[in-house]
A and B are shown apart, each in its own frame.
Chain A
Amino acid sequence: MNTDPPFVDVRNLHVNFTGGRKPVPAINGVDLQVRRGEVVALIGESGSGKSVTLRSLLRLHQKRHTQMHGQIIVGGVDVLGLTDAALADYRGKVASMIFQEPLLALDPVYSVGAQIVESIMRHGRVSKNDAHQRALSLFERVQIPSPKRRLQTYPHEMSGGMRQRAMIALALACNPQLLLADEPTTALDATVQIQILLLLRELQRDLGLSVIFVTHDIGAAVEVADRIAVMYAGRIVEEGPAANLIRTPRHPYTLALLRSRAHGALTKGSRLVTIPGAPPDLSSLPNGCAFAERCNFAQDECRQNQPAAIALSTNHLVSCLQTDATSNVVALA
């Protein structure tokens, strides 16, 4: 196994949002390591904390209403300890982000090219001409047709797939080593989604990027990720190599997620296997396992204490007390 220190090392991360009436603990002790050149997908439903985790890595949450504890180390830099000026250098240069909705993430009043040039010049001492050249080569890199002309267009003039490519070009403008992708393909059609996923995979391979990919679509995660981590109620409940996690999931929530998918092998008129109930209210989480009240395998012990992560094999970690009971369940038909 690789013994280098991981490029991203998140330990016991807690994030509380204090803006509302009650503080909301959105992240409750996340540990996540990503090695250089590795792609990790975070999957989970809305409110599970996957996007909050991702945004914490760039410290994008409003300072006034957010409390963060724990440790985030990216490329040897302690992200939570950065001054504002150092944070501005870190964003884009070490780690950068692709958002779900490029139309909202890009500035509508500047051409896409101007935004990329601005970003390049902010982070390095380059002439405007060189920055332009680099922007052009980035557009070629992300396979935008007639790149020269496209640099001068505004975000609203592009199609959804093209905008997402432009967004990726912008994210890569300063040669980051870590790419954070927040549901980058959710708003796209299936035919365009697969193009963007393949592009991300190719860029990741060629540039040796570490990627953290947030999605609620397990299919998209399997398409790009080396490792998958499943989140529920602000914690990672199971993580492991993509193949293990898909074929032999052991956390009841992962199992239920996989079994509730509609897929081709289902017979007509049958019903999907559903997870009863709804995700828990984050502002009043139970003491024990947050999934216990929806879980078929739950016992009394599950409701008392937070289950610790146990290693089933190298790299396959599950936070569940009932892994013996889940070992015989078939996840995919």
Chain B
Amino acid sequence: MASDQPLLEVRCLVKHFPLKKDLIGRGGGVVRAVDGISFEVREGETLGVVGESGCGKSTTARLLMHLINPDQGEMVFDGAVVGSSDMPIKRFRRQAQMVFQDSYASLNPRLTIEDSIAFAPQVHGLPHKESIARARDLLARVGLEPRRFAERYPHELSGGQRQRVNIARALALQPRMIILDEAVSALDKSVEAQVLNLLLDLKDEFNLTYIFISHDLNVVRFMSDRVMVMYLGEVVEIGDSESLFQAPLHPYTRALLSSIPSMDPDQRTEFPPLQGDPPNPINPPAGCRFHTRCADAESVCSQRLPKLVSQSHNHSAACLMLEADSGHRKARHLLSQ
């Protein structure tokens, strides 16, 4: 199914948010929300994105959708640079859609749900009648009977139903890629399972590509073909989902995975895998950004920037322990081999 050319290629994306100075000129500085990330998304796959809050997951999603403009970097969608004359942003947005976490805030409270779903196709030139017909089709497709639901307002629906509406709306322009930013996080577990199944069905039916952002690692593992782990605005590990979950390479990924509760009362976690919160992205630590919380950190980690190196087929990580001759004691030595 996947061709050689990735559907989306992200090159060195950077977004810094400047901070306001106070009255006497203190403060300033920048929040390095996304700091030079590169990755690709292949046609037909689901790329999971995980990391703690503040690691830049949502900023990345917003940058991808051009809801905010990047400071640096470019995106290539289907072979064309987004924003160039080959792929103007309006055309790109027809092909990439987004579902947000807050199902209520992302719907216009004064539009019925069929009008909400039909809105974007109308903006893109579909006549009113056809767009309503498409909206009703999509409602049926996401499991909401059009005759009962089409003319309701968002406040008349439950959270799970509203999220189904948001998914239908994202599908209305027949996109090729959907970004799901914590789309199931606010739902109850039994509803979450229903929506996840729906997403998988729709992906098969419409041949979609997903970028699935979530803090729930179990859900990401279930949904994703590949997973990208972010820490303080950088990609620390990216690889095939099973190989990443079964044999994580980066110490941060290992800590993240061992934070998942065990579901076994006889094997409870005794020590927290990580101490404290992630450092402030305003002044991220020099060198490897994870060195302040890493059990294997050595002095070289605070000086040298680890590079994202491919370790095996489809699995890369950025850690000095994995970089040959990096100066870390656990690193491989090329000469001695």
- Categorize the interface residue count of chain A: 35 or more
In the bound complex, residues from chain B placing their C-beta under 8 Å from that of A194 are 259, 261, 269, 272-273
Docked complex: A270-296 residues within 8 A CB-CB of B: 271-275, 278-279
Does B27 sit within 8 A of A, measured CB to CB?
Answer: no
A152-189 near B? 1/0 per residue, CB < 8 Å: 00000001111000000000000000000000000001
Contacting pair B273 A271 (CB below 8 A): no
A188-208 near B? 1/0 per residue, CB < 8 Å: 011111110110010000000
Contacting pair B53 A223 (CB below 8 A): no
CA distance A158 to B242 in the complex (A): 36
A223-B268 contact in complex given A145-B276, A191-B259, A271-B200, C-beta closer than 8 Å? yes
In the bound complex, residues from chain A placing their C-beta under 8 Å from that of B273 are 191, 194
Does B5 sit within 8 A of A, measured CB to CB?
Answer: no
Contacting pair A273 B193 (CB below 8 A): yes
Minimum C-beta distance from B123 to chain A (A) = 32
Contacting pair A243 B193 (CB below 8 A): no
| CB contact between B261 and one of A45, A145, A160, A220 (< 8 Å): that residue | A220
Minimum C-beta distance from B315 to chain A (A) = 17
Minimum C-beta distance from B71 to chain A (A) = 26
Minimum C-beta distance from A191 to chain B (A) = 5
Which residue of chain B has the shortest Cβ distance to A43 in the bound complex?
A: B189
Does A264 sit within 8 A of B, measured CB to CB?
Answer: yes
Q: Name which of A62-70, A120-128, A254-262 contacts chain B.
A: A254-262
In the bound complex, residues from chain B placing their C-beta under 8 Å from that of A218 are 189, 263
Which residue of chain A has the shortest Cβ distance to B222 in the bound complex?
A: A262
Does B277 sit within 8 A of A, measured CB to CB?
Answer: yes
Does A222 sit within 8 A of B, measured CB to CB?
Answer: yes
Contacting pair B272 A262 (CB below 8 A): no
| CB contact between B245 and one of A45, A192, A264 (< 8 Å): that residue | A264
A222-B264 contact in complex given A194-B272, A194-B273, A195-B275, C-beta closer than 8 Å? yes
CA distance A193 to B158 in the complex (A): 28
Which residue of chain B has the shortest Cβ distance to A185 in the bound complex?
A: B261
CA distance A246 to B263 in the complex (A): 8
Minimum C-beta distance from A199 to chain B (A) = 9
B241-283 near A? 1/0 per residue, CB < 8 Å: 1100100000000011001111111101111111111100000
A160-B259 contact in complex given A45-B188, A194-B273, C-beta closer than 8 Å? no
In the bound complex, residues from chain A placing their C-beta under 8 Å from that of B197 are 271-272, 274
Contacting pair A219 B190 (CB below 8 A): no
16 A-B pairs whose Cβ atoms sit less than 8 Å apart in the complex? A189-B53, A194-B259, A194-B269, A195-B272, A198-B270, A219-B260, A222-B262, A246-B263, A264-B245, A268-B225, A268-B241, A268-B242, A271-B201, A272-B197, A278-B191, A279-B188
CA distance A219 to B223 in the complex (A): 19
Contacting pair A275 B259 (CB below 8 A): no
A261-B200 contact in complex given A45-B188, A161-B276, A273-B193, C-beta closer than 8 Å? no
Other A-B pairs, 10, CB within 8 Å; known A45-B189, A272-B197: A45-B191, A189-B53, A191-B256, A191-B259, A194-B259, A195-B275, A222-B261, A246-B263, A262-B223, A275-B190
Contacting pair B191 A223 (CB below 8 A): no
Contacting pair B190 A274 (CB below 8 A): yes
CA distance A274 to B199 in the complex (A): 14
Q: Name which of B58-66, B88-96, B211-219 contacts chain A.
A: B211-219
CA distance A222 to B256 in the complex (A): 19
Contacting pair B158 A278 (CB below 8 A): yes
In the bound complex, residues from chain A placing their C-beta under 8 Å from that of B242 are 268
In the bound complex, residues from chain B placing their C-beta under 8 Å from that of A332 are 263
Give the one of A201, A269, A278 with max B CB within 10 A.
A278
Does B40 sit within 8 A of A, measured CB to CB?
Answer: no
Minimum C-beta distance from B245 to chain A (A) = 6
Contacting pair A261 B189 (CB below 8 A): yes
CA distance A61 to B222 in the complex (A): 40
